[in-house]
Amino acid sequence: MSIFPSRLFGIIGHPLGHTLSPLLHNWGFGHFGLPGVYLAWPVTPDRVADFMTAVRVLGIEGVSVTIPHKAAVMGLVDGITGRARAVGAVNTLFWRDGKLWGENTDVAGFVAPLREMGDVPGTALVLGGGGAARAAVAGLLELGVPGIFVSNRTAAKARDLARDFGVRDAPWEKRGEYAGGLVVNATPLGMLGNNEGLSPMPPGSLGAGAVAYDLVYNPHETRFLKDAAASGARTVPGLEMFFGQAVEQFRLWTGLELPRREGMALLGRALYGDGA
């Protein structure tokens, strides 16, 4: 039980930098009239064990976990969900029956817009070899997509990821040949900064029957999504996944679901200034 008058939540990472999680979760507490507060806690890798002790001693009710602590906390909890074990990373800490659990809500966040879409293509190409790509593959397996391919500029990473999940790898130089269904960008290409304006796919490789899903959410419309839309493909912006993973976190902590329209508008105003 918490020793604080408000229920205490927060996010840990290093360097933590700017994060939208406090904005969204604190808005959620206010929306539902809950006595909760969500804080940002920069925690260096050598202090993760101390922080986890504080979670137990202070009665911190929920924690978002970001880079580089997603693997480190796995050995410091009482239980790990199947999703988190499959991905090999924990991004959420929550309590159940007096025990501290680790979950990976990136998987739920990834599949949420695809479930809304309804008719998910039968093949999927996931670009990347890191944690976001692993969450995407885990989500696609949950959805029952029969043909899943992974491609990465470092071929060994794609092979390792494909082996771990029992899917197939595709050569990076031939990735355009696998773009007939769903294509997921789980690389930094297109992200605001040095990678802005870059696309992970060759021009014209996506057609009208394809779906382009970019896990990059800033800018809102990346070069990858612009090219896909111009080719007639359907597009899914990365903000959908970010919001979806936060919805699942909030549900684990409170049993309540953040309203989509208002929550997405809040994030849109914060990121793009226009509620996109």
Active site residues: 70
Q: Which two tokens stand for residue 144?
A: 């029952």
Beta bridge partners of 93: 63, 102
Cβ within 8 Å of residue 177, ≥6 positions away: 170
Q: Where are the beta strands (DSSP E) in the chain?
A: 7-13, 36-42, 62-65, 79-80, 92-96, 99-103, 123-127, 147-151, 168-169, 182-185, 211-214, 234-236
Q: Which two tokens stand for residue 126?
A: 């996931």
Nearest to 175 by CA among 196, 149, 157, 195: 149
> In angstroms, what CA-CA distances link 46 with 49, 54, 108, 153, 181?
7, 14, 30, 32, 43
- What burial letters (b/e) apply to 73-95, b meaning 16+ CB within 10 Å? bbebbeebbebbebbbbbbbbbb
**Cα(61)–Cα(7) distance, integer angstroms:** 7
Beta bridge partners of 127: 151, 185
Cβ within 8 Å of residue 221, ≥6 positions away: 237
Give alpha helix (H) positions in 64-130. 82-87, 106-117
Nearest to 139 by CA among 182, 179, 110: 110
